[in-house]
Structure 1
Amino acid sequence: MESIQQFNDSIVDELKQAYDEKFRPFEESFLYKDFPYATPPDDAFFRAKPMILLIGQYSSGKSTFVKYLIDKDYPGIRIGPEPTTDKFVAVMYGEENAIIPGNALVIDDRKRFKPLMKFGGNFLNRFQAAQVNSTVLKGITIIDTPGILSDSNNSAGYDYEGVIEWFAQQSDRIFLFVDAHKLELSGTFQKIIEMIRKYDDKLRIVLNKTDLVTEQEMIRIFGALMWFLGQSLEMKEVIQIFVGSFWGKPFFDEKRRKLYEHEEFRIYEDLSNLPQESLLRKMNALVQRTRQVSMHACLIWYGMFLLFLHTDWIFSFFKYSMFKDNIRRTSILRFIFDKQIKKIYLRKLHKIRAKIEKQYDFTRDESPDLRQMKQALMTINLNRRKTFNKKLFAAKDVFINEDLPAIIDRYHFLKLIILIKIFLKIYKINRINNGKFPKMIFESNNDGTPFGFAKGE
């Protein structure tokens, strides 16, 4: 495990160094960070642990699941049949148990929560971190959320759905909890599911508290859940569903022990892949960012071209040839006509975007939000942009065409070497044990398994 962590850290260091040296200067030259849709990757982005988001109705077992994973209570946890968790809680590692208020979290550059400042003070008062000295949390961060109340307003004075969507976008895994005893799949719960369906590659469903229902009831509940997910998510691929009672206590129905133990194993197996998935997601996010920044740069470059074109026309109109060079140096005339020229540019922005997308094969997802871009351009002085610099463009091309592919290839190569070392270590241990694997807890057994589980079906 230590070698895998070292491997991940080395890839992250290489990725961050290449970005800072070759691509960030290109971004800054086109004022990308001055636009509201731009969130520059900081050190917290590269160093962040995989994040797990827990969503579900109230009393569906989210907080209990956190306790089940880390094998202890976290500071401020409240568990009960009524709505108990009324805050967003980031459960993370700390040497000593402590609670950190949301207002302190968002100004900490070492954490990844700074963008949450945009949701305002009402949200920050309902956001906190719970630090726990747990080995599990050395590798992950868990986000426990307030339970969703059906057909009611969860916002409490802030954009609840916007907060959920931000966490869903940033998370590496999303667990959607459904209580087998109250299958109320409507109202606000359905809106949340429809909102996060674009992250279905990270989504997992947990059908919780099933050990107290009969087998016939479980079949009906499972069928109703699948029908609802098919309608709400418009699933193109099968989403993983975990069935069980994840609370760390003895099972009520011993006949289903094998099923529940196997489901526990599936969850741990799924979570064990998160470090590698998180690293791949960061690399993929940087690849997408290069496309988005390039599209932004094309739009800004066209605006600068239009600005200079109209300025030159105005100079030639007044025929002040001697005065022309002085004005060009001081940019006085550009300042006078800047607003009018921007209005011409903004009116044409949709057509300009369509032309650039067609010419350079950009997709609409890679295009910036034009409404936000127009608002920002009315206040941003484009004359602050640095002049054309061939070195910046060359460094950008090296980062996109050489550095990123080389880092991705190195990632796959080193991952293969580590997997081979792990296999050889297991093989060596098993040879010492006369070539036999120790008996597994999830060994197939036909006795007492419901639904024909582990019978080769």
Structure 2
Amino acid sequence: MKGTVSICCFLTLLILQATAEEEEFSSTLRDRSHIDETLRLASEEKAADFAAAIQKLRKIYHTSIKPMEQAYRYNELRQHEISDGEITSKPMVLFLGPWSVGKSSMINYLLGLSDSPYQLYTGAEPTTSEFTVITHGEKIRSIEGIVMAADSSRSFSPLEKFGQNFLEKLIGIEMPHKLLERVTFVDTPGIIENRKQQERGYPFNDVCQWFIDRADLIFVVFDPTKLDVGLELEMLFRQLKGRESQIRIILNKADNLATQDLMRVYGALFWSLAPLINVTEPPRVYVSSFWPYDYAPDTSRELFKREEISLLEDLNQVIENRMENKIAFIRQHAIRVRIHALLVDRYVQTFKEKMSFFSDPELVFQEIVDDPDKFYIFKSILAKTNVSKFDLPNRDAYRDFFGINPITNFKPLSAQCSYIGGCLLEKIEKAITNELPALLSSINSGKQPGLSSCEATGCGEKPKNRYRKN
């Protein structure tokens, strides 16, 4: 009996000693100097040049693009209204993924908030139930979602359309931090596969889509110990279609596994996600452990460190190219507005051509809307203008559009001209082919952004997507 007790005591001491050593190791903070160095937080920005370029971009949008939007009610087709807050906003980094994979811990690590009174709450259970927006401010404070939506100077006022239940689940945090002067972080509730959208009390997928549409970089975070892909995660990746260049997949907590097991998990992750990401070039996957404590012993420390620096370089590229990305986004938006105006103009002209004294206006226009190919609505746009067929919107969307907007509410483009303001079509075409490329060229060449003439290298060219690393 005494021998059995002695063995039990000895084993207990060994377990306690191992636990103490593990706790001591896990509480050791790792060096964070590479974060400031890679993100160049010590360097000073040319705030005056950036502000001048933003003002020039705002002027182009308000004088050349927005009048066309309003004349042909483009926002009722796309449900995406560009506000001044969105034009002047910083790049947005969105964190998505299942619950308890380390999204909040990653933000705490990047901002150096761990073990401080201001860190985001983390835990093994689903802890984040709100959409948390972390932005720069002169002092640390939290802002209620209702206040954020009511402030027109921010870019979050359109979130009011998701209802008061959602605004109660939206919170903003302001703090003085060098990184937050250049970027905004958005932490999201974790995906729980056994929870239906209706149980959240607000349209979770629609809110995620709103943030996805406006994000400059999207981190989809996974835990290597739970890679189950369910219906809600499948829905998320369907919403990410078309945004593959902004997606970065993060296999977090990688130091919890041995190298051989990690390789198996890496392959299993790609096997699970392959049906959801149907692209030739898959998104970049980063394998590391993004939290402030040192890596577990006997793991690939050098690999994890290189992966972390690579991710920080990716983030820094988005920050440095934020002005070019914003110009490219506004130009893409202008192209869509122009195509919409050309299509509405074609519908109007066709309606007038088919109308006669004895015709029923409703029946005539219903025939045009139901079968636009019969009247060459879309083909005529491709034949007469430099519009790509891949940029044409869904023709079924115009059946709904004209269902709430009678055709008689619109004038043809030839009538959208004034002696002082000029023609709307000429102004938006000038912005697309001249003003926006010239502004982009001035940014890249380091010149003042007040250029109005077309640069030889930039005129008429579509700005490249600089989200992707070559």
Note whether the superposition's TM-score is higher than 0.5. yes
In the alignment, structure 1 residue 193 sits paired with structure 2 residue 218: no
- Residue 148 (str. 1) matches residue 191 (str. 2): yes
Structure 2 residue 442 is the aligned partner of structure 1 residue 400? no
Q: Is residue 193 of structure 2 the alignment partner of residue 177 of structure 1?
A: no
Match 1:26 to one of 60, 68, 82 = 68
Cα distance, 1:42 vs structure 2: 2.1
Q: Detail structure 1 runs of 4+ shifted over 6 Å in the superposition.
A: none
SS at match of 1:245: coil
Query: What are the within-5 Å matches in structure 2 for residues 127-166 of structure 1?
Result: 127-155=170-198, 156-166=200-210
Is contact 1:75-1:132 (8 Å) kept? no
Q: Distance in 1 between matches of 2:55 and 2:45?
A: 15
Structure 1 counterpart of 2:105: 64
Pairs within 5 Å for 1:368-407: 368-380=393-405, 382-385=407-410, 387-389=415-417, 391-392=422-423, 393-407=425-439
The equivalent of 1:108 in structure 2 is 151
Is the 2:134–2:172 contact (alpha carbons within 8 Å) kept by the matching residues of 1?
yes
Could you report, residue by residue, the CA deviation over 1:402-425 in whole angstroms, capped at 9, with x for unpaired residues?
Answer: 21221122222129xxxxxxxxxx
The residue type paired with residue 163 of structure 2 is G
User: Helix, strand or coil: the match of 1:232?
Assistant: coil
What is the alpha-carbon distance in structure 2 between the residues aligned to residue 193 and residue 26 of structure 1?
A: 33
- The structural deviation recorded for 1:383 is 4.8
AA aligned to 1:217 is D
Question: Relative to structure 1, is the Cα distance of residues 64 and 385 closer, same or farther in structure 2, using a 3 angstrom cutoff?
Answer: same
Specify the alignment match of 1:295 in structure 2.
339
Question: In the alignment, which residue of structure 1 is the partner of 2:445?
Answer: 413
Q: 2:57 aligns to what?
A: 15
Code of the aligned partner of 1:41? I
- What does residue range 432-443 of structure 1 map to in structure 2 within 5 Å? none
Q: Is the 8 A contact 2:92 2:185 kept in 1?
A: yes
Which residue of structure 2 lines up, in the alignment, with residue 366 of structure 1? 391
Pairing partner for 1:347 from 353, 370, 373: 370
The yes-or-no answer on 1:93 pairing with 2:136 is yes
**Mapped partners of 1:338, 1:222: distance in 2:** 61
Equivalent runs, 1:196-235 vs 2, <5 Å: 196-235=240-279
Q: Displacement of 1:340 after TM fit?
A: 4.9
SS of the equivalent of 1:177 reads strand
Partner residue, 1:245: 289
Change (3 A) 1:285 1:153: same
Whole-angstrom CA distance in 2 between matches of 1:38 and 1:204: 27
CA distance in 1, matches of 2:155, 2:117: 20
User: Secondary structure in 2 aligned to 1:77?
Assistant: coil
From the two aligned structures, give the one with the greater helix fraction.
1
Distance 2:388 2:165 in 1: 36
Contact 1:52 / 1:172 at 8 angstroms: preserved in 2?
A: yes
Q: Structure 1: which amino acid aligns with 2:417? A: N
Q: 1:76 to 1:376 in 2, by over 3 A?
A: farther
Confirm or deny: 8 A CA contact 1:173 1:203 kept in the other structure. Answer: yes
Q: 2:319 aligns with which of 275, 281, 286?
A: 275
CA gap of 1:112–1:371, structure 2 versus 1, over 3 A, is farther
What is the match of residue 328 of structure 1?
none
* CA distance 1:342–1:55, shift in 2 (3 Å): same
Q: Give, in angstroms, the shift of residue 275 of structure 1.
A: 2.3
Post-superposition shift, 1:375? 3.2
Q: 1:121 to 1:363 in 2, by over 3 A?
A: farther
Distance 1:114 1:409, change over 3 A: same
SS of the counterpart of 2:221? strand
Select 2:165's aligned residue among 119, 122, 136: 122
Q: Is the 8 A contact 1:75 1:131 kept in 2?
A: no
Contact 1:54 1:176 in 2 (8 A): yes
Find the aligned partners of 2:248 and 2:101 in 1 and give their Cα distance. 15
Are the equivalent residues in 1 in contact too, given 2:259–2:300 (CA < 8 A)? no
Structure 2 residue runs without a partner (length 5+): 1-42, 448-470
Structure 2-normalised TM-score? 0.75
Quick check: 1:357–1:363 contact (8 Å CA) kept in 2?
no
Relative to 1, partners in 2 of residues 1:38 and 1:265: Cα closer, same or farther, differing over 3 Å?
A: same
Whether the aligned pair in 1 keeps the contact of 2:68 and 2:341 (CA below 8 Å) is no
Query: 2:362 and 2:230 mapped to 1: Cα distance?
Result: 49
- The answer (yes or no) to whether the contact 1:176–1:206 under 8 Å persists in 2 is yes
Paired positions, count: 394
Specify which of 68, 73, 82 is matched with residue 41 of structure 1: 82
RMSD, aligned α-carbons: 2.8
1:211 match: secondary structure: helix
Q: Percent identity?
A: 25
Counterpart of 1:286 in 2: which secondary structure? helix
Contact kept, 8 Å, 1:74 with 1:131, in 2: the verdict is no
The letter for the 1-side match of 2:369 is L
Which segment drifts farther, 198-207 or 258-267? 258-267
Structure 1, unaligned runs of 5 or more = 318-335, 416-457
Shift of residue 308, structure 1, vs aligned partner? 4.0
Moved more, 348-357 or 57-66: 348-357
Instruction: Provide, for residues 99-156 of structure 1, a one-character-per-residue CA deviation record: whole Å limited to 9, x for no partner.
Output: 2222222232222223323323332222221222322211111110111113442451
AA at the equivalent of 2:91: P
Structure 2 CA distance, aligned partners of 1:169 and 1:277? 18
Cα drift, residue 88 of structure 1: 1.1
Give yes or no for contact 1:205–1:241 (8 Å, CA) kept in 2. yes
Cα distance change on mapping 1:198 and 1:23 into 2, 3 Å: closer
Judging changes above 3 Å, is the alpha-carbon distance between structure 1 residues 22 and 212 closer, same or farther for their aligned structure 2 residues? closer
Distance 1:356 1:279 in 2: 35
Q: Displacement, 1:337?
A: 6.5
Of stretches 223-232 and 175-184 in structure 1, the one that deviates more from structure 2 is: 223-232
8 Å contact kept, 1:106–1:115: yes
